[in-house]
Amino acid sequence: MVNSHRKLIFKSYAGFYYAAIILPKICFCSQFSVPSSDPFNKDAGAFPVATNGEPFPWRELRLPSGVIPLHYELSVHPNLTSLDFAASEQIEVLVRDATQFIILHSKDLVIMNVTLHSEEDLRYRKPGKRLNVLSYPAHQQIALLVPEKLKADLRYYVAIDFQAKLADGFEGFYKSTYRTLGGETRTIAVTDFEPTEARMAFPCFDEPSFKANFSIKIRRESRHIALSNMPKVKTIELEGGLLEDHFGTTVKMSTYLVAYIVCDFQSVSGITSSGVTVSVYASPEKWSQTHYALEASLKLLDFYENYFDINYPLPKLDLIAIPDFESGAMENWGLITYRETSLLFDPKTSSASDKLWVTRVIAHELAHQWFGNLVTMEWWNDIWLNEGFATYMELISVTATYPELQFDDYFLEVCFEVIKKDSLNSTRPISNEAETPTQIQEMFDMVSYNKGACILNMLKDFLSEEKFRRGVIHYLKKFSYRNAKNDDLWRSLSNSCTEGDFTSGGFCYSDSRRTSSTLTFQGEHVDVKEMMATWTLQKGIPLVVVEQEGPLLRLRQERFLSGVFKEDPEWRALQERYLWHIPLTYSMSSSNAIHRHILNSKTGTLDLPENTSWVKFNVNSNGYYIIHYEGHGWDQLITQLNQNHTLLRPKDRISLLHDAFQLVSAGRLTIDKALDLTRYLQHETSSLALLKGLRYLESFYYMMDRRNISDVTENLKRYLLQYFKPVIDRQSWSDEGSVWDRMLRSELLKLACDLNHAPCIQKAADLFSQWMESRGKLNVPTDVLKIVYSVGAQTTTGWNYLLEKYELSMSGAEKNKILYALTTSKHQEKLMRLIQLGMEGKIIKTQDLAALLHAIARNPKGQQLAWNFVRENWTHLLKKFDLGSFAVRMIISGTTSHFSSKDELQEVKRFFEFLKAQGSHLDVFQIILETISKNIKWLEKNLPTLRSWLLVRT
């Protein structure tokens, strides 16, 4: 999934930070008995109580493993007028252990009737046995009670009739609407089941390890089409003009990957080189925006089949843009659902960053067809095996198929983004316990996605690309249609296997049969499992402290903690028991060669050639660690950057900028030293390095502006416009250049206009006037659209016109840019109007509410407004989104995590304590509190030095 994304591919949207169960009449407790081996046989009090007051025969959140599903036959009839659905299913199960009950997941479904058939019943056409049903909503479970014990090693068939309303939110089987150009509102029905919402659409074994085959039938009206995971094999005409589409039986897969949709969309199709039909669907008036997605999907699917050496196993792949979708996308096998802005590309309104985003999300979801779908993590604690790998494969696939997008350079930001969270004490390990649905939802975060991808990239760099790829192929082939754990991956990546090694389905070993996770590195045995356990089973990120003493280089590793200084009393306790096996890389002033060393102890030493003036660690930023150069280390690197920055690789220059400012937040480097490092940027030719340095200075400006520290704000503004004037003046208001030239242009011109740079404001205002006069028909260059709209939104006439255009626009990319511009207004009544529209969900869709509140909170005139709104309307927000959803986490962090005063910290603390008292707890609460505390300490420590540094230079 992309979060975003919940699938968290996390996207800052182009400037947005971004049932009741009806039970059969009576249940007699004597109808079931608990086997003596059952853990609940201790006493009657051990049983939970079902909704009808009877004992519920299972108390665990996880389902028992004594009964497993083999095949579901599911028939669904959604009514898009009454907004409900009726359905029936038959589940073929295999009983492993004799039992008198079957536990299934079910949530908000009305169970009408349940019958059980044995194989003998079906063979001789005997009537089935009607079963009593118990419901335990706290665990979203139902118990089917059988009159006679089910025998081990036999198959049975459970038939269930049920019905429900189409859900109002974004989970289960829910309704979505879109408006035509003529103003008509149309409704479609769509599913979204990951992680634990298949149970909202049909009773099922809703855990990833209960894989089964699915045969699906959908009833619909003739004006609609139905889509599901597999191709349609036939359509039957029913009474009353209804049609019933029958779809092919799926491969063996988890419930969260099941999908079906009823809509009136149109598609564009193509065929891959291996014969897979790929189709991209969108609402009729957005069909013209599907062509880039088709092109990208065909190229990427071909790439993955070749890279993984495994053909995509289904005959078709559909990608569909859903009008209402909470996350970025969802990888349902054969029917991938997307938020419109993650799939559709409009050349007139989509910028360079929009194109990169669409390509990334498509690459992410297609990678899931292997990582996640073909091989699935055993439980949600290892969701990173799905999401981290899919994020990593974005890097590999997009770099290979669209080199002009230069995603290899952007991947640095994927790692830098998660380091901000991972350097807090409140972070979590990649592999982390998760049991409840809310805990599972919270696993879809940057640690699973970004950190997972970054440690895989580090391991690939350590093993070599070819060896890593061979291990990945081994892992996928060995565990196809099965479930896997962390250790299974490490064993596969330790092996140097070839095609012939897979014939027996066993392991092959590298070099010798030492252990299945050992390989040789520079003459020493390295246990990959042991090494990678230090990255997946313990939280945080290491700091490697480097100090040069003549020809000797001393190394020391610590846990890197942002916002906790070495002199703080808690620092030492937070360091205890942390040790990583770090695959270090480094280069030196004396040669361009890349040297390697594994630091698997607290300290180490390296010998240097004579006359080595500087050493740079973490070559090309492939490693997931921070480097601090003690002694004269930083001074030597700053001198080199000022003399000839090109002796350092572009990515190494970027990582120096990143590490320096991270070290400032940990109190290990003074801010004036980090700012001195940026002075070389006037000679920088890498757009990405310029962007990195610019963003730090920009973030300081916005922080000072929000806190109304006017003297520093003005001096920062003066310094930025003075220091970056040559590069600002070089920017054209066009879409020319490489992808990073274009992104630099967007960022620089946006900053210049934010700083009220007169030439920028004038140019943007002129373009906005021309655009308004043309009634929106003038093609403004896409890379400057957001800037033009933002300047135009500062007048009442411009703001109102933009809101009208927002309502009418058929381009999601354009709507995002307009909505961002609307949130930059200095008038609180306009900002409040936007929030009201977001809550209503018609003009501004509910799916965009989280990003809207985040953007308004970043506006100094809107930060208190957004925060007050969240506190006062918390219960209303929870009616729109699940507590653990990405949207709720984005709302709460987006409106608070920029705070930097003690009063604000106390306000947020009180609110979180109030929520906890009501039973609402999220792990993100502690992350936010720690972030605010870090901001406070940052200002206390660095504001005087920043003020002095600017006074000397402005």
CA atoms of 663 and 566, how far apart (whole Å) = 11
Selected catalytic residue, list 207, 326, 365, 814:
365
Identify residue 583 by its one-letter amino acid code: P
Place of tokens 């990593």: 392
Q: Which two tokens mark 627?
A: 């480097």
Is 365 assigned a catalytic role?
Answer: yes
Using H for helix, E for strand and C for coil, what is the string for 469-517? Answer: HHHHHHHHHHCCCEEECHHHHHHHHCCCCCHHHHCCCCCCCCCCCCCCC
Count CB atoms within 10 A of the CB of residue 567: 7
Angle at 303 between CA 298 and CA 305, to 5 degrees: 100
Q: How far is residue 558 from each of residues 98, 459, 541, 547, 607, measured CA to CA in Å?
A: 53, 20, 9, 14, 21
Judge contact between 3 and 9, C-beta under 8 A: yes
Q: Diameter of the chain by CA atoms?
A: 94
Judge contact between 782 and 737, C-beta under 8 A: no
Angle at 423 between CA 417 and CA 426, to 5 degrees: 110
Q: Which two tokens mark 155?
A: 């198959």
Strand (E) positions, 740-879? Answer: none
Of 317, 323, 302, the residue nearest 257 (C-alpha)? 317
Q: Which residues contact 723 (CB under 8 A, 6 or more apart)?
A: 681, 682
Judge contact between 746 and 790, C-beta under 8 A: no
3-class secondary-structure state, position 373 = coil
Judge contact between 912 and 409, C-beta under 8 A: no
Place of tokens 């280069």: 587
3-class secondary-structure state, position 850 = helix
Cis before residue 127, ω within 30 degrees of 0?
no
CA atoms of 444 and 886, how far apart (whole Å) = 8
Q: How far is residue 110 from each of residues 25, 88, 171, 946, measured CA to CA in Å?
A: 14, 11, 17, 63
DSSP state, residue 26:
-
Q: How far is CA 908 from the centre of its chain?
A: 25
Q: Which two tokens mark 301?
A: 């699917």
Using H for helix, E for strand and C for coil, what is the string for 639-682? Answer: HHHHHHHHHCCHHHHHHHHHHHHHHHHCCCCCHHHHHHHHHHHH
Q: How far is CA 141 from the centre of its chain?
A: 28
Judge contact between 584 and 599, C-beta under 8 A: yes
CA atoms of 38 and 825, how far apart (whole Å) = 63
Q: Which residues contact 523 (CB under 8 A, 6 or more apart)?
A: none
Cis before residue 195, ω within 30 degrees of 0?
yes
User: How many H-runs (helices) and E-runs (strands) does the chain carry?
Assistant: 30, 31
The DSSP result for 70-136, as a single string, is EEEEEEEEEETTTTEEEEEEEEEEEESS-EEEEEEE-SS-EEEEEEEEEHHHHHTTPPPEE-EEEEE
Place of tokens 């416009």: 721
Paired with 49 in beta bridges are 55
List the strands of the sheet with 552-559, edge to edge: 603-607, 552-559, 542-549, 626-629
* Residues assigned a catalytic role: 365
